[in-house]
Chain A
Amino acid sequence: MASQDDEFTMLFQDFYPSLCRFLECLLGGRAPLAQDLAQESFLQLHRTAWGTLPPGEARFWLYRVARNMAINEFRKTHTRYRLFDRVVEAMRPAARNPEQEYETRERKELVLEMLQTLPEDQRTALLLREQEQLSYREIGQVLNISESKVKVDIFRARAALRERWSRKVKVAGASVS
């Protein structure tokens, strides 16, 4: 049992941060909620599927469960969590390097803003590709869709983001000049 816990700990250390990142992007930057859902996904894995999944499958299982949880959250009322998240953000200790922190936050907010303009399925597929480096086949496995749909979703997401990005840059350029 101890070695099972060790293995679980290893898996947790490897994938908890990336699962948090995935959920945070999916949920539009609601970090505390993302961390809770990531923790809940791991807890479910430990309770139900740990030890029965073939090696390497646990990761896909986690993303599938986490994504379903995120979708459930979309369906719930958003305001309560947004308010809570803002309170948590406000309570967070100040950054050590404020300038750097400001830049990082700006960049993060921009990425999140762009991602939020995408439909949920395209956003999820793109995140799994760009952040988790899953292949189309693996993404299809996680989302339970065909590889061709994954391919189309990712392409559409990229094309849409590219267009919005260039529009944003143009607007920024115009305001500077």
Chain B
Amino acid sequence: MNCGFTEKISSLIDGELSPAEAREVERHLVMCAQCAETRADFLSLRSQIAGFEPSLTPAVQNRALAKILSMRSRERQPAAFGFAWKWTAIGFASILIVALSILLIPSKQPQQVAVNKPAPASSPTPAPTIAPSEAPRPQQPQQPRRKPLVREPKPGEQFAVNSQPQRSTEPQPVRPADAQTMTALHFEKAETLLRAFRNVRLNEPDSANEVSYERQRARQLVYQNMMLRREADANGDVQISSVLESLEPILLDIANLPDKPDDAAVRVIRERVERKNIVGLLQVNSTALARALD
């Protein structure tokens, strides 16, 4: 453990070194038996930890899910009840306002007319003089009052109505940016994976461990790739969608490799990666996305 490269070996197997650094460490590994052993040990530890099987049965898992969903639906019920109460209260309040305004309008109306009178220059006819008379009271309060009642709550109602859709639509403008961040990260990860997959030395004894690790990574990335591609399709982002689309079969191929894949199977995937120039494509697009996010 005295070699200065030991810490870099840890980063190398995690795909966290720059290509130049990775090349340097790889070159050193060829010459230094001690470091090659360290790498093998780190990879062996990895397979021990990654191969840990949880003491979990499908029955326990299903029970846990059922419990969460049932608790959630139980919590929702009183919420819906409270929501209904809220609307009932609003209804009562608005009826109260109508009743009060009916009572108060006769004293307010002449003032409204006086204010309205000078403003509309286009209506010089003294039409409002008919209004203040007490006779049409049952007619008048209904028409103009309904107008303010329908119109006035509107701004208030719009807040109430908007406040809900706004919450639901709130994430929408945020989502594309987050999706972009996720996509940029995903591209970076896929690039690291494909580089590591390209660098697996098939003749070495650890190659099986390495391939199985890359296979696990690919399995995780496939799922994310599908999600992001769907998101890109929904947002009409054709370029990102097409990059993800060409990446997906390669990830699937790596993810579906058998436990002990033969060299030919690995080589076929590598050749496809090279032929499609996926690594370059990912690099260009992740850089472009990172720039756009800055």
Contact = CB atoms under 8 A, between A and B. Distances in A.
Interface of A: 5, 8-9, 12-14, 16-18, 20-21, 24-25, 31, 34-35, 38-39, 42-43, 46-47, 51-52, 54-57, 104, 107-108, 110-111, 115, 126-127, 129-131, 133, 135-138, 151, 154-155, 158-159, 161-163, 165-166
Contacts of B56: 16-17, 20-21, 31, 35
Given A9-B65, A56-B227, A154-B14, A46 B54 contact: no
Interface of B: 1, 6-7, 10-11, 14-16, 38, 41-42, 45-46, 48-56, 60-61, 64-65, 67-69, 71-72, 75, 171, 174-175, 178-179, 182, 185, 188-189, 192, 216-217, 220, 223-224, 227, 231
Chain B interface helix/strand/loop/mixed: helix
A127 B52 CA distance: 10
A56 B45 CA distance: 28
Contacts of B231: 55
Contacts of B46: 130
B91 to A, nearest CB: 25
Chain A interface helix/strand/loop/mixed: helix
B95 to A, nearest CB: 31
Given A55-B231, A56-B182, A126-B49, A34 B72 contact: no
Contacts, number: 129
A148 B214 CA distance: 23
Given A12-B65, A56-B182, A56-B224, A25 B52 contact: yes
B223 A162 contact: no
A162 B72 contact: no
Contacts of A138: 185
A136 B61 CA distance: 29
A133 B179 contact: no
A43 to B, nearest CB: 5
B44 to A, nearest CB: 8
A133 to B, nearest CB: 5
Nearest to B75: A47
A135 B49 contact: no
